[in-house]
């Protein structure tokens, strides 16, 4: 009887707990199932496909181990794509971080017209990348575009900016900078606005020049947003596709083929899903590595005082 009593006493409590836990999982499960199904499990599956030789109808036709990776490392086209991606990432990151910070510093002064400038600089960010790409294509149109019109007026030869292997990647970098500059400017503005005014004033009282205050007080204080911006910008560069597809389709030849574009051509033009998946796995490793690096270094690098 004692046992029975105990069971009766525990029973309802367990049932409430069970109901509570079931109810709680209902909150978590829609998002969890969605990301598991379309992001996390596919990340595992892409690694699996990368071990196979594919045919058009069957992506997992024949198991070949790491042969896809081996052939990638030996392939010049993959090496090229890697180099283009790195150039793209460095080019975009250097400009959006330095220019974004420079603009944010000016806007943080709270001058008259600040809000209007903020809107102008951020405006390109809401443009679809395809639209930004098209606008630049017209600007760079050989002969009749604005740039070439000006050049010919000055008596200089017109340049086929997107059709030339030496300038095409630069132009794709330019449109990407144009698109994202305002976004980074706002991130830095957020960082600058959070800097403690008292520390700046104390430094000024101690006789520090504006330049010293900027490098010794402001920069260390906003180091978290700087680091965040750096990583996001590189991650974004590794995923670039839309602007490349519309402007150059990876060309001329392969001058603007970056890693993501390379995966696309391998998978959806040559139907070599195995090889495309191997590149995707390398991309995943690179990106998760970078994000972990942000997490680890972010903690140490963030300087803020004692």
Residue 223 C-beta: closest distance to other proteins, Å: 8
Close Cβ partners of 22 (under 8 Å, ≥ 6 residues apart): none
Residue 243 C-beta: closest distance to other proteins, Å: 9
CA–CA dist 240, 173 (Å, integer) = 10
Q: Which of 45, 63, 214, 270 binds other proteins (CB under 8 A)?
A: 45
Q: Which of 28, 76, 154, 197 binds other proteins (CB under 8 A)?
A: 28
Using rule CB under 8 A, residue 110 touches other proteins: yes
Close Cβ partners of 292 (under 8 Å, ≥ 6 residues apart): none
Query: Closer CB to other proteins, residue 93 or residue 132?
Result: 132
Q: Which of 193, 209, 212, 269 binds other proteins (CB under 8 A)?
A: 193
Which two three-digit tokens encode residue 26? 């209902």
Q: Which of 83, 94, 146, 202 binds other proteins (CB under 8 A)?
A: 146
Q: Which of 52, 88, 161, 183 binds other proteins (CB under 8 A)?
A: 183
Q: Which of 82, 135, 159, 203 binds other proteins (CB under 8 A)?
A: 135
Count of residues of this chain found to bind other proteins when the rule CB under 8 A is applied: 108
Using rule CB under 8 A, residue 280 touches other proteins: yes
Using rule CB under 8 A, residue 228 touches other proteins: yes
Using rule CB under 8 A, residue 180 touches other proteins: no
Using rule CB under 8 A, residue 5 touches other proteins: no
Q: How many residues does the chain have?
A: 306
11-15-17-22 Cα dihedral, nearest 10 degrees: 160
CA–CA dist 182, 132 (Å, integer) = 14
**Strand, coil or helix: what is 105?**
helix
DSSP conformational letter for 125: G
CA–CA dist 227, 16 (Å, integer) = 46
Q: Which of residues 86-105 bind other proteins (CB under 8 A)?
A: 99, 102-103
Residue 219 C-beta: closest distance to other proteins, Å: 14
Q: Which of 64, 122, 220, 230 binds other proteins (CB under 8 A)?
A: 122
Using rule CB under 8 A, residue 225 touches other proteins: yes
**Is the Cα torsion angle 155, 156, 157, 159 positive or negative in sign?**
negative
DSSP conformational letter for 157: P
Q: How many CA atoms does the CB half-sphere of 255 hold within 13 Å?
A: 18
Close Cβ partners of 194 (under 8 Å, ≥ 6 residues apart): 221, 222
CA–CA dist 192, 109 (Å, integer) = 10
Query: Closer CB to other proteins, residue 255 or residue 279?
Result: 279
Choices 3-11, 75-83, 86-94, 130-138; region in contact with other proteins by CB under 8 A: 130-138
Choices 76-84, 88-96, 180-188, 212-220; region in contact with other proteins by CB under 8 A: 180-188
Which two three-digit tokens encode residue 37? 């199904």
> Which residues on neighbouring strands pair with residue 52, listed in sequence order?
63
Using rule CB under 8 A, residue 69 touches other proteins: no
């Amino acid at each position: 009887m004692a046992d029975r009593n105990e069971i009766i006493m525990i029973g309802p409590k367990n049932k409430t707990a069970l109901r509570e836990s079931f109810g709680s999982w209902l909150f978590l499960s829609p998002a969890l199932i969605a990301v598991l199904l379309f992001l996390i499990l596919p990340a595992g599956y892409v690694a699996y496909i990368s071990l196979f030789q594919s045919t058009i109808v069957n992506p997992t036709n024949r198991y070949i181990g790491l042969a896809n990776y081996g052939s990638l490392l030996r392939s010049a086209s993959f090496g090229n794509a890697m180099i283009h991606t790195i150039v793209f990432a460095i080019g975009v990151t250097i400009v959006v971080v330095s220019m974004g910070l420079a603009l944010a510093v000016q806007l943080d002064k709270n001058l008259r017209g600040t809000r209007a400038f903020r809107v102008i600089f951020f405006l390109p960010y809401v443009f679809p990348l395809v639209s930004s790409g098209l606008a630049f294509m017209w600007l760079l149109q050989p002969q009749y575009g604005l740039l070439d019109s000006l050049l010919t007026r000055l008596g200089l030869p017109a340049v086929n900016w997107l059709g030339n292997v030496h300038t095409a990647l630069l132009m794709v970098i330019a449109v990407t900078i144009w698109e994202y500059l305002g976004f980074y400017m706002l991130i830095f503005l957020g960082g600058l606005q959070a800097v403690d005014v008292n520390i700046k004033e104390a430094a000024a009282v101690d006789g520090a020049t504006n330049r010293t205050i900027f490098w010794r007080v402001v920069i260390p204080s906003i180091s978290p947003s700087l680091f965040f911006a750096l990583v996001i910008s590189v991650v974004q560069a590794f995923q670039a596709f839309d602007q490349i597809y519309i402007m150059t389709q990876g060309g001329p030849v392969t001058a603007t083929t970056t890693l993501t574009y390379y995966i696309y051509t391998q998978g959806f033009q040559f139907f070599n899903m195995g090889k495309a998946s191997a590149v995707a796995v390398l991309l995943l490793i690179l990106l998760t590595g970078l994000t972990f690096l942000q997490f680890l270094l972010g903690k140490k690098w963030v300087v803020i005082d004692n």
